[in-house]
Amino acid sequence: MRTSLAIIISVLCLTIPAFSQGMYKHFKVSNDIEVIQISVHSYVHVSYAQLPGWGRIGSNGLIYTVNGEALLFDTPMNDSLTKQLVNWITDSLKIRIVGFVPNHWHDDCMGGLNYLNSIGISSYANEKTLAIVKSKNLPIPQHGFVDSLTLQIGNQSAICKYYGPAHTVDNIVTWIPSERILFGGCMVKELKSETLGNIADADLTEWPKTIARVIAAYSSANIVIPGHGAFGGQELLKHTQDLLTKTK
């Protein structure tokens, strides 16, 4: 019995991923940007900015690379930081960015869009995002989609999909099937979060329904990346659900 139990524990240790941020390779881009390699093809970019009322905040994005090309999901908060990140991707990784998708309309997702537009990187966004940024006279992504968007990169794909209002009315998630990575953005909270954070533009009635749909759709996700804080696994989705329940 002891032998069998030991074998089971060993198998579990091999199959359950460890998500201590220190176990992954870190790259310091600048004092305000770091990049964490989470797989052969994928990197989390973390940028820091001072926000009134919130202090110095780190915001996450995703870089997905295949055969010398990359898709970028979310930018840092402004054009200057975005330029630093793009230059690092181009110069250090020797990779060309071929497309960009923001999770939603806030600055921590597309604050660097002006810079991306200026260097000719194709940008795509939920039609709801396009409507909001047009109404607010903000930089506008070039292409829109209604329900979902599949971007091909090499022989792989990234799927961006809208499941409903949550942190904002326009927020989407991005799924990388080959990596089993889900970039949930700000609708997903890190495990250390004790609140839902900024809810100024949130739909607290629909958010629980939206996160339930995301949980049902991505039960095979191995890594889940929130908009802020440490990434992890499926437990981040359940934690977000629990926070929403407590908020009611």
Active-site positions read 104, 106, 108, 167, 186, 189, 198, 228
**β-pair partners for 28:** 34
Paired tokens of 197:
């954070």
- The answer to whether the beta carbons of residues 197 and 187 sit under 8 Å apart is no
Q: Is 164 left (phi over 0), alpha (psi -120 to 50) or beta?
A: left
What single-letter DSSP state applies at residue 22? G
Which uninterrupted H or E stretch holds 113? helix 113-118
Give which of 44, 78, 75, 46 is closest to 59, Cα–Cα. 46
Q: How far apart (Å, rounded) are the C-alpha atoms in residues 51 and 200?
A: 15
Q: How far apart (Å, rounded) are the C-alpha atoms in residues 135 and 130?
A: 9
Query: Residues in the chain, how many?
Result: 248
